[in-house]
Amino acid sequence: MKTIRLTTVTSLVIILAFTACKKDNDEKKKPNCRIITITPTTGNAFNISYNSEGKTSTISTGNDVTTFAYSGNTIIGTTTTSGTFSSKKIITVNSNGLATNVKTEFNSSGTNWSNDVYEYSGTELIKSTSTSSSGGTPSVSTITWSNGNLISVTSGSSVSTVDYYTDKPAQTGDYLNIAQLVGGFQIYKTKNAIKSLLSGSSITSFDYNFDGDGKITALTATGGSNITYSYQHQCN
């Protein structure tokens, strides 16, 4: 899903503050909702299922199906196309649930691969290093943060900068959440939802639609190409 990708770094949780007061105790607890379908205005929809622990179980789009298996701090996502092996991701996560290493194998023998190493300061991604089985110079990206938000990604001479909605927290259905959901792992935890992404002279802006319960029901990206992603939720 190339339209949902932040520069060369391979693509959040909501932080809610509750005060202890009688009013909060009287209010109904909001249901836990997950996105099960992402439907773009062009292209194939993504269908997502979850296991009993709430972790992603499968992601399907078109003829591609990715199945996830979990063991300790390792996640393995195997993708088939029309039932035939396509690729496998071997994801290692840290105690914060953030990926520290992602190896993607493009053949069943594992000889054709790419590897991404992610380095953090706390929960903030500060560096990504990409290598591949073809050799060559590693690709390195550095990331800077301010006030809990990622503000720029630098890779060689390429710089991307990010702006945020300061009145909207990072949440299910925002740009980074969806990018990481369909990618199968998380490397970004920001404070707010992304408003725009500037890469070179190209800018992409993001607008969100909300329902009466405050859930994001659609994301519209405008810029180089205009596309809307609509969501279907499953709540319990």
CB atoms within 10 A of CB 89: 22
Collapse the DSSP code of 179 into the 3-class scheme (helix H, G, I; strand E, B; otherwise coil) and give the result. Answer: helix
Percent of the chain at pLDDT > 70 equals 87
Where are the chain's structural domains? 22-235
Rounded to an integer, what distance in angstroms lies between the CA atom of residue 231 and that of residue 178? 10
Which residues are 33's β-sheet partners? 235
User: CATH for 22-235?
Assistant: 2.40.160.190
Q: Average of pLDDT values for 31-53? A: 95
- Predicted local confidence at residue 73, as pLDDT: 97
Q: Model's pTM, two decimal places?
A: 0.86
Q: What is the mean pLDDT of residues 12-24?
A: 29
Q: And the tokens for 221?
A: 């990206």
- Sequence letter at residue 41: T
